[in-house]
Amino acid sequence: MSDDWFFGRSYKKTSRINLLVVFLIVLNVIVLGYSSLILEKANQKLEDNETSLIFSIEGLRVELNEAKRELLELKNLVEDGVVIDIDNITIGDQINLIKLYNQTIESVVLISVNTPLGRGTGSGFIYDPYGRIITNNHVVEDATKITVTFLDGTILNAKVIGQDNYSDLAILELESGFPNGLLKPVIMGNSSELQVGQTVVAIGNPFGLAHTMTSGIISALGRELTAGNYAIVDIIQTDAAINPGNSGGPLVNLMGEVIGMNTAIISESTGVGFAVPSNTILREIPSLLAIGTYEHAYIGITGVDVTPSIVSEMSLPSDTKGTLVVSVIKNGPSDNAGIKGGTTNKVIDGINLGGDIILAADGIKMKSFYDLRVYIERTKTPEKIIEFTLLRNNSTINVTVILGKRP
């Protein structure tokens, strides 16, 4: 065996050992790198969790401070003598209602009247800085003397300067000067934006108990109340307690805006009160201030909703909806325009059939007699023109009516 062979085999063995060492080194490097990556990710996760925890703690600290602030404010209000009913209401809601009461109550007044039948009381609210006060007409009707009592105890005489029995609305004016800062006018809201379920409060003087607030919700919209031979339309229904003496006081939303005037209740009912909407008040005020009254548009008919029975008896198209003209007032606006009332001997529930069917007004479908009356009340005044789409003898015709003044 030669030396060359010996040294050759030794060299090959050494090379394999070196390769193994290199492999182990590389493997260690990979393992160390992987371990470092895992540790880095773990550290990053810990840092993220720590940051998240810090934000959560800060959020809780802010909420705690806000709760402390509300509790302190509530404590101060209670110490001032405000009684709070905490059943089914949150602290935040309580504070909102208290703030609402405090920012509104100076605008609400007690109205006392003398009439030929005796004395009475009601409520009202300050409309402007010139001494004008809004209330219900039935509160001051036939009054021989009217006094207005303010929150601070000031009592001043007032007189009626405008009234509308058809909307049960009246405007008073203070007869003498008044101290600076006494008058705090309300903020009038938009009643067309109301929704059923919306929270409202009624403020007034029920049973002569001054400065009373009750809360509730809008129970329904589009009700009507009887006022003599006519109905007040667009009425708001609420379950906020309204009692004798509340009449004429404001119905207020949570923004402190007057969206109605408390007007009536159903006798012996609980939670069924009614208010004239603010948009009706705002629509009439300019006329009440200018001429002392408001003239309602008049079409001169009596009518009823078209029912399935009427459709059947008059052989109308099955989908017919509108107002059946039962009778037409002689020489009234509709009579002058040629609209016809019941002309046959067929009668349903005491209603003469055969009259014109009002389907639309000014191109707008009127599905009921109520829809027609609301449209006229909201958009029309005497001497204005309205175009009716009528169904007569199963043919459609258009008739133009010049509206009159409600007698």
Chain centroid to CA 337: how far?
Answer: 38
Q: Is 247 a catalytic residue?
A: yes
Please state, in angstroms and rounded to a whole number, the distance separating the CA atoms of residues 329 and 322. 19
> Which one-letter amino acid corresponds to residue 12?
K
Please state, in angstroms and rounded to a whole number, the distance separating the CA atoms of residues 338 and 316. 21
- 107, 112, 168, 219: which is the annotated catalytic residue? 168
Chain centroid to CA 9: how far?
Answer: 103
> Quick count: other Cβ atoms within 10 Å of Cβ 155?
11
- 107, 138, 335, 356: which is the annotated catalytic residue? 138
Contacting residues for 132 by C-beta, under 8 A, at least 6 apart: 126, 161, 171, 172, 173, 289
Tokens of 312: 């059947």
Q: Is 168 a catalytic residue?
A: yes
Q: Judge whether 187 and 305 are in contact, CB under 8 Å.
A: no
Contacting residues for 314 by C-beta, under 8 A, at least 6 apart: 346, 353, 354
Tokens of 407: 């007698």
Q: Tokens 């490097």 map to which residue?
A: 29
> Quick count: other Cβ atoms within 10 Å of Cβ 227?
17
- 191, 247, 278, 334: which is the annotated catalytic residue? 247
Looking at the annotation, which residues are catalytic? 138, 168, 247
